[in-house]
C-alpha cells in the first residue's frame, strides 16, 4: 500500500503510530510518500520505508491535518508551508483523510485562518497587489529569524486574510489564473474523509 505522509503536528502523530505498528508487526508492506523534506527526515528516523511519486504515481491513502475545515469538507492548508507538495500528493490519492480537533471547524473558510499562497519571488509586490485586489490583506510569511520563509521548492508564502469566504471556488480560480502564483492552500473537492476529535469522542465524516 502506498501511503501519503502529510506534514504538521497532527500528521506527525499518525507517522509515529505507523512506525509503532510496523515495529509491532501489526502493519506491513507499505511505502510512504512524504509531503515535505521534514516529513521525509522524520519518517527515516522512525524507520518508515519511503518511495516517490515518480516510482508510485498513484497513492492509495493520504493522512494529513488541516488548518480550517468547513461543512462541505473544503479545507485551508499550508500553515506549515508544505501546501504545494501536500496538494500534489492529495491529487494523486484515492483517499485523502484529514484529521483535526473540533477547534479547526468553521462554518466558512477564512473565519479563523489566513489563506497561504505560494509564489515565486520574482514580481512579489505585483503578486501581493493582485491578491489585495481580490479582497485580502497580505503579509509575507517570515521565519523565526525574521527572514522571508522559504518552502521546500524555494518559494515564498503570502498569508492572505480574506475573512469569511462566501465563494472559495471563485477565489481559487482567480489565484490559479495569475502567473507567478505557484499554488494556494484551498483544498477543494480533495478530502474524502474527515476525522474530528473532541471531548465527546471521535467523529468520522465521509464525502
The 8-class DSSP code of residue 118 comes to E
Among 68, 86, 118, 183, the one annotated catalytic: 86
For the record, the C-alpha cell of 152 comes out as 521546500
Q: What is the dihedral of CA 20, 68, 106, 103, to 10 degrees?
A: 40
What is the rounded distance in angstroms from the CA atom of residue 96 to the CA atom of residue 86?
Answer: 10
| 86 is annotated as an active-site residue | yes
Q: Which residues of 37-70 are buried (b: 16+ CB within 10 A; e: fewer)?
A: ebbbebbeebebeeeeeeeeeebbbbbbbbbbbb
Whether 139 contacts 124, CB under 8 Å? no
What residues are labeled active site? 86
Amino acid at each position: 500500500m502506498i501511503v501519503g505522509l502529510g506534514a504538521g503536528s497532527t500528521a506527525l502523530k499518525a507517522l509515529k503510530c505507523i512506525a509503532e505498528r510496523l515495529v509491532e508487526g501489526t502493519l506491513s508492506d507499505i511505502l510512504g510518500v512524504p509531503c515535505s523534506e521534514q516529513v521525509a527526515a522524520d519518517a527515516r528516523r522512525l524507520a518508515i520505508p519511503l518511495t516517490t511519486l515518480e516510482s508510485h504515481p498513484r497513492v492509495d491513502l493520504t493522512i494529513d491535518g488541516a488548518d480550517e475545515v468547513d461543512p462541505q469538507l473544503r479545507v485551508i492548508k499550508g500553515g506549515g508551508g508544505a501546501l504545494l507538495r501536500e496538494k500534489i500528493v492529495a491529487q494523486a490519492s484515492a483517499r485523502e483523510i484529514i484529521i483535526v480537533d473540533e477547534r479547526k471547524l468553521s462554518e466558512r473558510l477564512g473565519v479563523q485562518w489566513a489563506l497561504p499562497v505560494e509564489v515565486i519571488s520574482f514580481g512579489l509586490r505585483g503578486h501581493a497587489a493582485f491578491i489585495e485586489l481580490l479582497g485580502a490583506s497580505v503579509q509575507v510569511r517570515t521565519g523565526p529569524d525574521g527572514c522571508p520563509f522559504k518552502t521546500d521548492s524555494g518559494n515564498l508564502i503570502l498569508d492572505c486574510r480574506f475573512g469569511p469566504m462566501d465563494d472559495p471556488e471563485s477565489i481559487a480560480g482567480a489565484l490559479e489564473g495569475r502567473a507567478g502564483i505557484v499554488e494556494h492552500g484551498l483544498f477543494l473537492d480533495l478530502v474524502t474523509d474527515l476525522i474530528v476529535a473532541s471531548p465527546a469522542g471521535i467523529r468520522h465524516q465521509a464525502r
